[in-house]
A and B are shown apart, each in its own frame.
Chain A
Amino acid sequence: GAVVSQHPSWVICKSGTSVKIECRSLDFQATTMFWYRQFPKQSLMLMATSNEGSKATYEQGVEKDKFLINHASLTLSTLTVTSAHPEDSSFYICSARSRRTGGELFFGEGSRLTVL
């Protein structure tokens, strides 16, 4: 149980294009989903928190208009990187918190974004 699927696992795009990453909780309903960014040899940096049906809460320094988050249902959240630039290249990981468990987060496999 507590499986989180993230897609795509890697994507290469041209500068200026937009990229959408999906995060699904496969066997549980996620009250809250989180989006993280991870640079090489660094820890996870929280970008935003999203609750189903409401606007995402962004961390300080994260551009809301650049990283669009939609949490349309209890099992799906999407992150859209708009007008991507090379500095947006990174490893993006989503996580979900279940209603049933004690608050631990379950992570997707991550999405490697490379912007040319």
Chain B
Amino acid sequence: EDQVTQSPEALRLQEGESSSLNCSYTVSGLRGLFWYRQDPGKGPEFLFTLYSAGEEKEKERLKATLTKKESFLHITAPKPEDSATYLCAVQARSGEAGYQKVTFGTGTKLQVIP
């Protein structure tokens, strides 16, 4: 069974204090790893897709990296507006041919304090 574990569950940072969020995964046949941002009462907002180990993607203060077992979301000099829950998801091929399932982690709730 595909598993996605995110840590920490919650993270509180001072504005400007850089840190990383972790996403560990166990899947058979990884097709892609996604990072999303979710604000309270809203649907997740797509951030990045990573396909293979060693790949990196950047967007403003966020940088996502991928290894064969985990992914990191690095936040450099965060601002209060970066406060949100960050979700990691993996796409893998299920038992049925052509059916690719996406499994989500439980997320890391980030709070950036001014």
Enumerate chain A interface residues (CB-CB to B < 8 A).
Answer: 2, 4, 6, 34, 42-44, 46, 49, 57, 91, 93, 95, 102-110, 112
Contact = CB atoms under 8 A, between A and B. Distances in A.
Nearest to A36: B104
Nearest to A101: B49
Contacts of B41: 91, 110, 112
Contact of B46 (A42, A93, A104, A108): A104
B59 interface: no
Contacts, number: 53
A10 to B, nearest CB: 9
A11 to B, nearest CB: 14
A103 B29 CA distance: 14
Task: Specify the main secondary structure of chain A where it touches its partner.
Answer: strand
A43 B106 contact: yes
Contact of A93 (B34, B43, B100, B103): B43
A95 B16 CA distance: 33
A93 B32 contact: no
Interface residues of B, number: 24
B31 A43 contact: no
Q: In the A-B complex, list the 9 residue pairs whose CB atoms are closest, starting with the nearest.
A: A107-B43, A43-B106, A110-B43, A44-B104, A107-B44, A43-B104, A104-B49, A109-B43, A93-B43
B102 A46 contact: yes
Contacts of B89: 105
Interface string B29-67: 001101010000111111001010000000000000000
